[in-house]
Amino acid sequence: MSSDPFGARTDIALAEGPTSFYSLTRLEELGLVELDRLPFSIRILLENALRHSGGRYVGEGHVKAVA
């Protein structure tokens, strides 16, 4: 599993069981992105990069480049 270098992973409990998601607002809080200025398609790419950051292939620099 990937690590969470930006602290964006949030765990939640659902009726179906626990799950997690990666919050783009965390990147905004860190001053890395202005979400209102990003097209929806780029937000999807950013979330994907964020979800995989800290792993073998995606580093923090990749997330910052998309942001």
Tell me the average pLDDT across 13-26: 95
Q: What is the mean pLDDT of residues 37-63?
A: 92
CA atoms within a 13 Å half-sphere pointing along the CA-CB vector of 46 = 23
In a domain, 55, yes or no: yes
The Cα 30–Cα 1 span in angstroms is 23
Domain membership of residue 2 (yes or no) is no
* Calpha distance 19→38 (Å, rounded): 26
Return phi, psi of residue 9, to 5°.
-75, 130
Query: pLDDT averaged over the chain?
Result: 92
Model confidence at 12, in pLDDT bands (50, 70, 90)? very high
35 within domain boundaries = yes
Q: Is residue 51 part of a domain?
A: yes
The answer, as to whether pTM is greater than 0.75, is yes
Strand 9-14 versus strand 17-22 pairing type:
antiparallel
DSSP reduced 3-state for 66:
helix
User: Is 20 a member of any domain?
Assistant: yes
Q: Based on the structure, what is the number of domains in the chain? A: 1
Split at pLDDT 50, 70, 90, the class of 65 is very high
Domain that holds residue 21: 9-66
Domain annotation covers residue 3: no
